[in-house]
Structure 1
Amino acid sequence: MDTKKIETLDVALMRASKKIKVLQALQWPLGAEEKFLETWHRGNPTLPEITLERHDYDDSISTLEDIESRCDLDDPVEKFLAETAQSYGYAARMLSAVGTPDFTTYATKIYGRPDTVYKLQGMSAVDGANFFLEVTDALLGNVNLPPTPTDISADDFAGWLKAEVDEFFDKDTVEVVVDKRLSSKALAGASRIRVRGSALFSQLDKDQLLFHEAYVHTATVLNGQKQANLKSLSLGAPRTTRTQEGLAVMAELMTNAMDINRLRRIALRVLAVKQALDGANFIEVFKFFLDAGQSEEESVRSAQRIFRGGDMKGGIVFTKDAVYLQGLIEVHTFMRVAIRDNRPDLIRNLFAGRLTMGDALRLAPHFESGWLYPPTYLPVWASDLRRLAATMAYSAFVSHIKLERVYLERAIEFEEELKATQPAPSR
């Protein structure tokens, strides 16, 4: 390993990536969603007219291409640097092509398509989304599932979250700020977590956003910053998005923070991305979310997430929202196999910075040697490998049970069958 070369490339990559901030560049102007809802309430909805500024990324792209060309792909560290540089190059080209077909071309290079069938899984994110919606459809409106009250203000939520992150990130300072421009309920960085000012939060939101945003997204950036030999592990590189979001959604499941509405939101976004790719316009996608039970405000924000940087008429969209479900499936499978193959260290490696699952495997020897550091911040559910192993082992077992052959009355039948097989008591 040429450590001097790696250090040079690492520093160059950190500098070249600084200007490329995808979500910031695609942010809609304040009040755009409200303006659309005004036309909706008047009974004459019109497509939002959004003009995003295009920036010149030519210098950054040139530098990133140079970094990529200088990397030896046979070396796992240099391969990480090359692929990270390439993904930032794709992101720069995507942002340079806002509103054009090339925007979606590069978006799908980075985030993939929701209808891609993965060879080993034999299914796509669309298939997974349809399954979850089918399973949960019957539960909606069930009197046995009480509604979740949403009555916590953004200021109160931010105050609670600040206390939690201060306790967890005891070696760093993480701000929590209220941001009225935010489209999602919360967005995490290394030193700051933003909370949407117009949102109301529930008790479930507390755990979901704490475990998802703070204990995964913020934690992995801070852990990456503490890497002395590979600082670019702290970069939120576009290529790591699927693993990052999969890990974050997995955290919600492992901590019982996931609820039925959150699961459905993730599934609905996958189908909405597919519809928009197939030509559905902004209004049609908005109606899709509305018909699925979301409020008008959440429906317009959900549609906005998909059309940011795209064409409101459809066909040109931002495909990032399709990665949450696919990432969850991949991360869950990766963890199961890591436990099966007695490699729990690979799970820990995923938190040591912003990595893909492939990175965690390829860079494992460097973690073992101490050249790369283990994570400083690791959520409890991922740090107690004995409990995690039990959960993954049980998950692997129950996946073999075919529910289509099982019905509720079978519980009574099973008891009767069991009695019939027992010997009669002696007299």
Structure 2
Amino acid sequence: MTNESDNNTPERKTLNRILSKIQNNEPLRITLPNKGLINMEKPVPFMVVYRIPPSGKDGFTSRLGKTESSYLHAHDSAATSEIIKSVANTLADRFKGFLLLEVWLAEEGNVAPFTVHVGQKSGAEVAEKLKTELSKIKILGNFLKANVNKGKNVVAPDYYKPLIEAKEANKSSITLIGLEIAPVYMNEATGKAYPLFLRDLRAKFSKAIRKGFFEFVRMHTSYNATNFQMLGTTSLRKNVFEIDKELAHYSNLFDFLLLVTPINADEAWKDFKKSNFLKEPVFHYRPMPIDPELIKRKIYNLPIEEISDPTLAFLFRDKRKEIDRMLDMMAEREKPDFMLTSLQLFGPIDEKLLETAKAILIAIEIPETTKKKKMISAKEFALMAEEELEWLKLQDPSISTAVRIRDDIEGILVNRGTLNINKNFQVSEERAFALLQHEIGTHVVTYYNGKAQPLQLFYIGVPGYEELQEGLAVFAEYMADGLTLSRLRTIAARVVAVHQMVSGSSFIDTFFLLVDKYEFSESAAFSLAMRVYRGGGLTKDAVYLKGLLNIIDYIKKGKSLEPLLIGKIRQGYIPVVQELIHRQILTTVPIKPRYLDEKYLVKYENIRSGGNVFNMIHE
């Protein structure tokens, strides 16, 4: 019998507070004595436990649980034991089963990187699943070995008793599994960890144990989960939002494309023409509004290493690297290294892409005569754009319907969700709707879908997003029945022009190749070359065709376009996006473009059933 004074002790008050939050389905994050912590974002039938050894905590094992949605780390004590038993019993009753996974650092050398200890029948399949998943961890070209050790009293480190005695655990449908980890991430001579090895191991370890939890949840509990990632963390710590905000701030301090786009394109064309196309054009650019070195210093001072979630830490490190490269390009504008950094940022042109581009240019015949097309002015196109934005606004009232007509840009571009149009811009009537789907249906839609997410990263753009964005945007033109033969020739010619530039050809040589071999008009060839040679050599224009080909392959696998519109992401990020959706960190796509309406889907089906870029030509 417990007397009233026992209920008033600090330990009892802490326990009652923990159980009350579990009972009320409230997020649980409570500090325990001696800097201990129990964290449970929502009631789940598992918990990672780390008991600080008598010699003190280590830097790796003590942080492992912090990547998960339910964990406890604390010194071993009667109070800690009572908390663990009470939580386990309470949640075992609710979910018909509960798993306690205790992790500790191996004290002896020459043991396998992972040893899974299990003493109960209910843990046998889970132990084997953990062994299988941990054995898939590959670091520095080597798979890490995992073993299973079966025995009644082996589910705790040598220096502590088991969290719960096996007989008591069996009665309460509680399963105990121990995971002993060898310090393979550490230099034995110095005792210091290899930081990059450690980072990679932590991320892959987290994925492996979630799959183990999922096996247990699926087989032994009533908890509803359809994917192992649903068992991951669902809430974001304050430092995640702080770093996301800082990266967005530094990214927004400069507009990359505007800063590498000439402000004197019209004058340069006139001078180039006057020289009979024999004198290299001279381009002028906007003044640099930032000092790249100062911003670099600030982004590398951001403590991304303190983010315990491996997926989010990866996103931020990747974005920081991209900002770093863009800053390099800002500092290298009109210098030889500009092109080299551009290749790092946008990727190389492989042989298959180049051959496809050349084949498109050959396959599309240029008509000998063309009747004059009805052209739409910048003002008329702006009115059409405003109407399209009003239509999107019905799905999301936050969408701005502002369209800017200006004289300091080339053609049209979307900048931070706003469509900008050159005052002299014209587009043929047959291309206008398709162009709206390119610029507004893709670039504006993904901007606002990204803004609907909790992280700003998804609307400023994840690293390498341009390839998927432009591929989607060109595919949108196809869906809207406006991907003309002329347009296909243009995006193919961009690949050829980039290849010429990277191979060392001059602006003039590339210009004449486009005119003489591929029969572009002189003004069109100048525009193509200008886009590629601007800034010192911008390779971005190759991503339009590359992205389109990747989208075609993606659709032929029977996949939906909708997930690609969740923000400004790259195709390689789709597994990351799916994980974050499963973890309820990202929301599904709130805004859908017009070209996904049912009446346009026949074009999608044409591709899905075996189409390719050459079928687009024949259509």
**Shorter-normalised TM range:** 0.7 to 0.9
- Amino-acid identity (%): 22
Distance 1:147 1:83 in 2: 49
**Aligned pairs (5 A) from 1:145-164:** 147=371, 149-164=373-388
**Aligned pairs (5 A) from 1:8-87:** 8-30=242-264, 32-43=265-276, 45-52=278-285, 53-54=287-288, 55-67=290-302, 70=305, 75-87=310-322
**Cα offsets for 1:345-400 (capped at 9, x unmatched):** xx32211111111222222132234321122221244465x985x76665354459
Please tell me whether the aligned partners of residues 244 and 354 of structure 1 are also in contact (alpha carbons under 8 angstroms).
Answer: yes
2:326 paired with 1:126: no
2:328 paired with 1:93: yes
Shift of 1:24: 1.3
Shift of 1:321: 0.5
Alignment partner, residue 450 of structure 2? 224
Please tell me whether the aligned partners of residues 129 and 268 of structure 1 are also in contact (alpha carbons under 8 angstroms).
Answer: yes
Please tell me whether the aligned partners of residues 306 and 319 of structure 1 are also in contact (alpha carbons under 8 angstroms).
Answer: yes
Distance 1:7 1:196 in 2: 36
2:400 paired with 1:173: yes
Distance 2:461 2:583 in 1: 25
Shift of 1:288: 3.0
Distance 1:131 1:149 in 2: 27
What SS does the aligned partner of 2:403 have?
A: strand
**Aligned pairs (5 A) from 1:195-344:** 195-227=421-453, 229-237=454-462, 239-291=464-516, 292-310=518-536, 317-339=537-559, 344=560
Distance 1:73 1:213 in 2: 37
Distance 1:112 1:147 in 2: 39
Shift of 1:218: 0.8
**Cα offsets for 1:213-269 (capped at 9, x unmatched):** 001001111111121x21221103552111111111111112211000000000001
Match of 1:375 among 589, 603, 615: 589
* Amino acid aligned to 1:189: N
What SS does the aligned partner of 1:287 have?
A: helix
TM-score for the superposition, normalised by structure 1: 0.79
Aligned-residue CA RMSD (Å): 2.8
**Number of positions where the alignment pairs a residue of Structure 1 with one of Structure 2:** 374
* Amino acid aligned to 2:578: A
Contiguous gaps of at least 5 residues in structure 1? 118-122, 311-316, 404-427
Distance 2:580 2:275 in 1: 61
* Amino acid aligned to 1:108: L
Distance 2:604 2:380 in 1: 36
Alignment CA distance shift 1:15-1:199 (3 Å): closer
Alignment CA distance shift 1:99-1:71 (3 Å): farther
* Amino acid aligned to 1:154: A
Distance 1:323 1:178 in 2: 26
Alignment partner, residue 412 of structure 1? none
What SS does the aligned partner of 1:350 have?
A: helix
Alignment CA distance shift 1:397-1:68 (3 Å): farther
What SS does the aligned partner of 1:3 have?
A: coil
* Amino acid aligned to 1:162: E
* Amino acid aligned to 2:401: V
Point out the structure with max Rg over C-alpha: 2
Distance 1:241 1:358 in 2: 12
Alignment partner, residue 182 of structure 1? 409
Higher relative contact order (CA 8 A, sep 6+): 1
Name the one with the larger helix percent: 1
